[in-house]
Amino acid sequence: MSDSRSASINTRMASEEAIYTRRVLRFTLGIGLAVAISAIWAWPLAFIVPVFVAKFLVDRQEPTVQTVYELLISMICTIGLAWIVSFGPTQYPMVLLPLIAMMMLWGYYLFSDPRWNFFATIFIVATLLLPYMSLLQPGAAILVGVGLSFSGVVAVSIFALLHALLPDLSPNREQLASAAQSHDERTHEAFRALIIAFPVIWFFYFLEISGALLTMIFIAILSLQAAGAKSIKVSLFLLITNGIGGALAIVFYNMLTIVPELPFYIGMSMLAALLFGQKIYANPEKAPLYAGILSALLVVVGSTASSTDKDVAVNFYLRILQLFLVGVYMIFASFYLESRDWKFLKKRNSL
């Protein structure tokens, strides 16, 4: 009897090890394939593909109809927004900025629902990126919008391909639950996220600062994570992840300057994915930390590798500085909001 129980335990342990190995392998191959495709074809915003793939592989167990549904709607919204901003709204900032704020608020609200997390991510990026691109370069919004939509299509295709070749071995199938928070809680956090992010967005739009796109993207995506009750703690976490990701990006970039070859770039990306994938799947509770570091690394290095500017090295270190400034601003904004403690809202709710 004890022998059969021991055999059952060994089988279960072997199964858990096989599940872990399969997921790490799929994550490594997925990042490598995403980096290779985005580097070879280098369409606008191609460097976002590895980040999307990493997000899918960590957050979703397998492709579902909901995944395709989110992608389709995000493509329609992105192309539609690109078409709208191409016809002149950017010339009226007092009209454009409130509209951007309303769309950001909706995106933040959807972001807290696991069923709409991916759509909200693309929608928030498109909301900030497309009007800003149209403001700096009239007519560029359509091209960038198509590039962002195509990046989503490529990411979902890679995600589906890898699950077809390496299906998940876990017997427990994923069930995307509804948002755990109430409508009021989600609305409250969405407003906090908007208050954190929008002042910087307003600043960049009015001064029309070129080269600020990565900063806005990081602030938009990360601000929701800093909008909860422990916002200062989360902001410190974001500063740490951005700092470590930036430091690793410097090492990564300097190695690429020594060996400026595509196979080496892909190999380095897969090595980083392998190391971080092991940490992500071995310690699920710390997965956001490791995923955040890897995302910072992929975005900074990927955007630099796809750059056609002459001052590539200067721009690279400017991107590192942007990462650091995002973390500092998050801590400052979160501390400011949390020190006020939203007392007027609490009194209102208690009545």
Q: What is the pLDDT along the chain (351 residues), one digit of tens a residue?
A: 444 444 444 444 448 888 999 999 999 999 999 999 999 999 988 999 998 999 899 888 888 888 888 999 999 999 999 988 887 677 777 888 898 999 999 998 988 888 888 898 889 889 988 888 888 787 788 898 999 999 999 999 999 999 999 998 888 766 666 666 788 888 888 888 888 888 888 888 877 766 677 777 777 666 666 555 555 566 667 677 777 888 888 889 889 889 999 999 999 999 999 999 999 999 888 887 788 788 888 888 888 887 666 566 677 787 778 777 777 787 777 777 766 655 544 444 444
Q: Distance between CA atoms of 52 and 71, rounded to whole angstroms?
A: 11
Please, where are the H alpha helices in 172-286? 183-207, 213-223, 231-258, 262-282
- Contact by Cβ (8 Å): 34, 49: yes
Label residue 62 left, alpha or beta by phi (over 0 means left) and psi (-120 to 50 means alpha): beta
Q: What is the pTM of this model?
A: 0.86
Q: With H, G, I as helix, E, B as strand and everything else as coil, classify residue 311.
A: coil
Tokens, residue 27: 């994550």
Q: Which residues, other chains included, contact 221 with Cβ-Cβ below 8 Å and sequence gap of 6+?
A: 121, 124, 125
Q: From residue 349, how far is each of 19, 87, 140, 159, 174 by CA, in Å?
A: 46, 43, 46, 44, 36
